């Protein structure tokens, strides 16, 4: 296929009734023939699939049963299709899908199908590695390719054809050394895209061009690390001017001058003033700022001012990637642009991530150069993708690659790690190392953005990861106790351990140990020593035997963990999920004795493998003459030895000798035929740890969120986080209301005739919920989010209502049933007649502004479900101290989550909608605690009535102007 002259090919797209080519059928085909780079002919047909077209597919494609009924079948078009394609190669986006469906249709007619297919999805990942998305629509938008009707076959095929041409043009611009490396990595595998790169290689080498050094395209950087004077910061720093902060955010300030459409808010000024005073006085601040406050700028302006005035770094930590990206890509550039030319001009910011987010060039080079006939096609394709990415990236951050699935796992083979870093001994150090560059950017930054997980990883590591700071802003602070609990605990998961041991040894001569053996001179043999060496006398062969035995022993251990959970009745009837707290009662009986015996065997074998790896690392380190690049190999071996030793200790910590202040448990969940099992431990209380490691070591911390208070009180949060142990004058709090008019924008409805779920059998409550939803969801016509507290109940009602709703033309999407959370939200936004069922993770972080979401139904007050090990342990701890666990733990957590669920509805000042709560415990007279839930909301309109009255009121509210 000649590139410069313009290739000839046929672009293909199919629309089908589903995803399984053995069951589902083609209902539309689009073919566009390109000759010498230009479209010259089309073939497009609607096809009667002789099968049902699911409602979701109808909504996605716009193809309805009436459009295909009576049309010819695929068999009627087969000969025409074959003639149109002829001998030309096919081009398609996500080509595996189209190729398998087309081949299946041809097979049904007894005809062969073997045309070569080039996949523009795979090709785009190579030549456009940093694209935000590799979906056809997104790539067309980025490359300015016209796509009139997405998900219609002819339009998608034509777009794929033009995308192919654009991608070929990018190959022509590639460095020849990179093309050489791509081709070498693609061999000896049968890489489908190789002919495209071979054609370009032949054209340019025939013209006399020669490749440069194989890695010269990775751009070096200059500059040395230097420490800011933060560690010796003045105990009495210079105050920032509150009036100056307010002026920047005010109606006549720099932001308004730079961006006339910017809308200043009094609530934002109140928060900014409180943050400023917190920094000036060296106090900690708890601030709840309602939706629409503009809290990011309210803390960013004081942070900029403080960093500039005092030359001190300010750290900002978020819980979600979404908020981190908003700060980095939107809010900070916005503020920097507005402050250009002022005294706050030049404030530098950096996103700070852990080392594993960055590629290690030494490990990547060894992996790419070491590819051989044993390398899998997936690994080979991943290495090719990384090679092209390295020609473009300035950060080496894996976030640019949008890794999912197998490629996410493969990243572990090339990521930067402290344990395997050679530092100055590495040839890439300083001149090219991405982790070193990131560290330099962090140390140069005035404001650094990180996440909660990295914050606590730094604390666990003795503050050796992050550059020093004394002022911290914790956004999304309602997650701090949860994140600290996880970070300060232990988690050993069977899938992770299985993957680590499989990485060391796999059958058929594969795995890290065989790689080590191949890298050694053939005459080198290291003697094995007991207990590693029996029965083999060769250290590597002995390690292979021990690793194989260890894999079996750990599998036995986790199998018995599943049996233990099953025997205690802690598994859901559906889904195979379960949690079992390891109490003294559980730690008794024959099954526990068997488990303990298996634990001892697994831990012993893990330690044997770790010991053997340490011996191997020592032998290679002492080789004479030294092994080429041996230091990197030794570091890698020692990393595995250390990790396996830690895992063995953690298994013992959970099962054998848990700490007196820890809670331990086993959790499991089915994923298809596989079961994920984890051994867990966590501190019962983290408040004291937070007080010692955060509140007492930092000068000022701002904790911000839209949901921190219960009613108007922060006492629950202060107590849970250990802030109540500080002097009263050290901690301030502020409650900032939202600027939205919730009374006019939102209506809360409670059907008072429904029975209370408290004490009602689950089966009866499910029936009540199903009957109400069957009425309301049809009336709503879509655009409704239903929030459950039980995923089992969600699945059951989903299965019952899906056919009913589809008969009404409504599309029901279920969490854990129809795709990932992000994909479900995007699909929900794509049409009016969508209904989304979500469980606890959907109660927050889902942002659907405007008319795409007009009603939220809360099934039940979101108290944590029974059986949560950490909650049980904390409840017992409180009761031992004579405190009410319900009042001090369960109720505040439920109120905050309830506020988060309510917050899904109103996202902008123009939104309007209805929240229906089916749990009438919030009504006066039902419970003593119920009214606290409604009192915590931002003063919406509230209405109680019978079910018919609620339905009528909801309809009137949503239809009135």
Q: What predicted TM-score, i.e. pTM, was given to this entire model?
A: 0.91
Q: Where are the alpha helices (DSSP H) in 781-842?
A: 791-807, 821-829
Residue 961: per-residue pLDDT: 55
> What is the rounded end-to-end Cα distance, in angstroms, of the chain?
61
- In the block, residue with structure tokens 């089908």: 16
Is 724 exposed, middle or buried, given 0-12, 13-18 or 19+ CB atoms closer than 10 A? middle
- Nearest Cα residue to 716 out of 878, 872, 869, 866: 878
What DSSP character marks residue 886?
I
Instruction: Convert the pLDDT of each residue in 434-466 to its tens digit.
Output: 998 898 889 999 999 999 999 999 999 999 999
Predicted confidence band of residue 357 (pLDDT cuts 50, 70, 90): very high
Consecutive H or E run containing 91 = strand 90-92
Helix, strand, coil in percent for the chain, rounding step 5:
50, 15, 35
d(CA 805, CA 800): 9
- In the block, residue with structure tokens 């780079």: 37
- The answer, yes or no, to whether residue 828 has pLDDT greater than 80, is yes
d(CA 484, CA 616): 37
Q: Which residues pair with 491 in a beta bridge?
A: 680
Strands (E), 774-928: 784-787, 811-814, 834-838, 855-858, 913-917
8 A C-beta contact, residue 160 and residue 120: yes
Instruction: Convert the pLDDT of each residue in 182-213 to its tens digit.
Output: 888 887 667 889 999 999 999 999 999 988 76
- Nearest Cα residue to 739 out of 908, 957, 941, 856: 908
- Nearest Cα residue to 331 out of 268, 407, 424: 268
3-state SS string over 942-954? Answer: EEEECHHHHHHHH
d(CA 820, CA 673): 19
Q: Which residues pair with 668 in a beta bridge?
A: 578, 677
Residue 672: per-residue pLDDT: 66
Instruction: Convert the pLDDT of each residue in 671-711 to its tens digit.
Output: 767 899 999 999 999 999 999 999 999 999 999 999 999 98
- The answer, yes or no, to whether residue 2 has pLDDT greater than 50, is no
Report the b/e string of 257-280 with b at 16+ CB within 10 A: eeeeebebbebbbbbbbbbbbbbb
Residue 220: per-residue pLDDT: 65
Bond prior to 764 in cis (omega within 30° of 0): no
Report the b/e string of 559-568 with b at 16+ CB within 10 A: ebbbebbeeb
Residue 519: per-residue pLDDT: 87
3-state secondary structure of 141: helix
266 phi and psi angles, rounded to 5 deg: -60, -40
Predicted confidence band of residue 223 (pLDDT cuts 50, 70, 90): low
Q: Which residues pair with 581 in a beta bridge?
A: 665
837 phi and psi angles, rounded to 5 deg: -100, 125
pLDDT-wise least confident of 42-51, 102-111, 470-479, 776-785: 102-111
What DSSP character marks residue 827?
H
- Spacing of C-alpha 337 from chain mean position: 30
Instruction: Convert the pLDDT of each residue in 900-932 to its tens digit.
Output: 999 999 998 899 999 999 999 999 888 999 999
Residue 371: per-residue pLDDT: 66
Residue 190: per-residue pLDDT: 78
Residue 216: per-residue pLDDT: 64
Neighbours of 86 (CB within 10 A): 10
Residues recognised as catalytic: 151
Instruction: Convert the pLDDT of each residue in 840-861 to its tens digit.
Output: 889 998 889 888 999 999 999 9
- The answer, yes or no, to whether residue 115 has pLDDT greater than 60, is yes
> Average model confidence (pLDDT) for the chain?
91
3-state secondary structure of 668: strand
Bond prior to 880 in cis (omega within 30° of 0): no
3-state secondary structure of 664: strand
Rg (CA), the chain: 31
| Per-residue tokens: 951 | 């339905």
Please give the share of the chain, as a percent, with pLDDT higher than 90.
Answer: 72
8 A C-beta contact, residue 542 and residue 534: yes
Consecutive H or E run containing 707 = none
d(CA 734, CA 573): 45
Task: Tell me what the mean pLDDT of segment 661-668 comes to.
Answer: 95
3-state secondary structure of 399: helix
Please give the share of the chain, as a percent, with pLDDT higher than 70.
Answer: 95
Neighbours of 382 (CB within 10 A): 25
- Nearest Cα residue to 721 out of 486, 485, 895: 485
- The answer, yes or no, to whether residue 586 has pLDDT greater than 50, is yes
Instruction: Name the pairing type of β-strands 700-705 and 674-683.
Output: unpaired
Instruction: Name the pairing type of β-strands 913-917 and 746-751.
Output: parallel
């Amino acid at each position: 296929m000649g590139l410069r002259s313009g290739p000839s090919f046929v672009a293909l797209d199919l629309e089908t009734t589903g995803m399984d080519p053995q069951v589902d059928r083609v209902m539309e085909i689009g073919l566009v023939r390109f000759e010498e780079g230009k479209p010259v002919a089309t073939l497009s047909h609607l096809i009667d699939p002789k099968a049902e077209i699911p409602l979701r597919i109808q909504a996605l494609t716009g193809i309805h049963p009436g459009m295909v009924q009576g049309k010819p079948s695929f068999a009627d078009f087969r000969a025409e299709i074959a003639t149109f394609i002829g001998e030309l190669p096919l081009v398609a986006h996500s080509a595996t899908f189209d190729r398998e469906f087309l081949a299946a249709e041809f097979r049904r007619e007894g005809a062969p199908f073997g045309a070569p297919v080039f996949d523009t999805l795979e090709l785009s990942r190579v030549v456009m590695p940093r694209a935000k998305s590799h979906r056809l629509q997104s790539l067309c938008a980025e490359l300015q390719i016209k796509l009139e009707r997405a998900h219609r076959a002819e339009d998608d095929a034509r777009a794929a054809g033009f995308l192919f041409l654009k991608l070929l043009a990018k190959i022509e611009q590639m460095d020849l050394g990179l093309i050489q490396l791509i081709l070498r990595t693609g061999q000896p595998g049968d890489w489908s895209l190789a002919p495209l790169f071979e054609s370009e290689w032949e054209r340019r080498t025939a013209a006399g061009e020669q490749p440069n050094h194989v890695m010269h395209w990775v751009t070096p950087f200059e500059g040395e690390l230097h420490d800011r004077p933060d560690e010796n910061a003045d105990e009495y720093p210079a105050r920032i001017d509150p009036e100056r902060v307010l002026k920047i955010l005010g109606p006549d300030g720099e932001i308004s001058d730079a961006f006339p459409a910017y809308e200043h808010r009094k609530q934002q000024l109140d928060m900014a003033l409180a943050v400023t005073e917190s920094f000036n006085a060296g106090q900690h601040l708890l601030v709840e700022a309602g939706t629409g406050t503009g809290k990011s700028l309210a803390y960013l302006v004081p942070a900029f001012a403080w960093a500039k005035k005092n030359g001190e770094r300010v750290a900002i930590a978020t819980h979600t990637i979404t908020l981190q990206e908003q700060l980095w890509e939107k809010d900070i550039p916005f503020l920097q642009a507005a402050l250009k030319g002022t005294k706050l001009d030049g404030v530098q910011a950096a996103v700070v991530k852990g080392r594993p987010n960055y590629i290690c060039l030494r490990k990547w080079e060894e992996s790419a150069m070491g590819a051989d006939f044993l390398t899998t096609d997936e690994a080979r394709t991943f290495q090719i993708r990384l090679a092209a990415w390295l020609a473009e990236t300035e950060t080496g951050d894996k976030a640019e690659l949008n890794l999912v699935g197998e490629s996410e796992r493969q990243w572990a083979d090339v990521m930067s790690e402290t344990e395997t870093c050679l530092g100055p001994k590495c040839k890439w150090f300083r001149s090219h190392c991405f982790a070193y560059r990131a560290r330099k950017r962090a140390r140069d930054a005035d404001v650094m953005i990180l996440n909660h997980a990295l914050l606590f990883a730094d604390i666990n590591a003795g503050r050796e990861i992050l550059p020093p700071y004394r002022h911290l802003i914790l956004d999304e602070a309602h997650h701090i106790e949860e994140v600290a609990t996880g970070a300060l605990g232990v988690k050993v998961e069977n899938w992770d351990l299985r993957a680590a041991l499989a990485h060391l040894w796999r059958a058929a001569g594969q795995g890290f140990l065989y790689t080590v053996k191949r890298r050694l001179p053939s005459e080198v043999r290291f003697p094995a020593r007991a207990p590693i060496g029996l029965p083999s006398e060769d250290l590597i062969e002995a390690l292979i035997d021990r690793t194989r035995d260890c894999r079996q022993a750990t599998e036995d251990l986790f199998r018995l963990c599943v049996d233990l959970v099953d025997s205690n009745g802690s598994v859901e009837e559906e889904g195979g999920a379960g949690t079992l707290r390891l109490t003294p009662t559980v730690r008794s009986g024959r099954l526990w004795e068997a488990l303990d015996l298996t634990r001892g065997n697994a831990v012993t074998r893990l330690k044997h493998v770790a010991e053997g790896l340490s011996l191997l690392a020592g032998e290679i380190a002492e080789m004479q003459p030294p092994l080429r690049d041996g230091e990197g190999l030794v570091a890698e071996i020692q990393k595995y030895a250390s990790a396996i030793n830690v895992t063995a200790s953690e298994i013992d910590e959970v099962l054998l000798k848990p700490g007196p202040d820890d809670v331990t448990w086993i959790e499991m969940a089915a994923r298809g035929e596989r079961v994920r099992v984890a051994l867990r431990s966590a501190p019962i209380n983290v408040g004291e740890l937070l007080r010692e490691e955060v509140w007492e070591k930092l000068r000022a911390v701002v904790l911000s969120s839209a949901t921190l208070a219960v009613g108007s009180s922060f006492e629950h949060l202060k107590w849970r986080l250990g802030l109540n142990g500080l002097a009263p004058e050290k901690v301030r709090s502020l409650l900032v209301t939202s600027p939205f008019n919730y009374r006019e924008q939102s209506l809360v409805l409670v059907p008072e005739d429904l029975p209370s779920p408290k004490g009602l059998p689950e089966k009866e409550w499910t029936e009540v919920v199903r009957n109400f939803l069957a009425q309301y969801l049809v009336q709503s016509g879509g655009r409704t989010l239903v929030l459950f507290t039980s995923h089992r109940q969600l699945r059951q009602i989903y299965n019952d209502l899906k056919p009913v709703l589809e008969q009404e033309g409504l599309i029901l999407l279920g969490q854990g049933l129809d795709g990932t959370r992000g994909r479900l939200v995007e699909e929900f936004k794509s049409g009016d007649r969508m209904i989304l069922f979500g469980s606890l993770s959907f109660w927050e972080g889902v942002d659907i502004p405007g008319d795409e979401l007009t009603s939220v139904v809360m099934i039940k007050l979101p108290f944590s479900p029974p059986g949560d090990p950490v909650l049980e342990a904390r409840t017992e701890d409180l009761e031992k101290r004579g405190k009410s666990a319900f009042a001090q733990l369960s109720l505040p957590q439920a109120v905050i989550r309830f506020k988060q669920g309510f917050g899904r509805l109103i996202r902008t000042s123009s939104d309007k909608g209805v929240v229906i709560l089916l749990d009438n415990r919030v009504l006066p007279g039902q419970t003593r605690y119920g009214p606290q839930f409604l009192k915590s909301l931002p003063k919406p309109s509230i209405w109680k009535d019978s079910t018919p009255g609620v339905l009528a009121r909801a309809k009137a509210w949503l239809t009135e102007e």
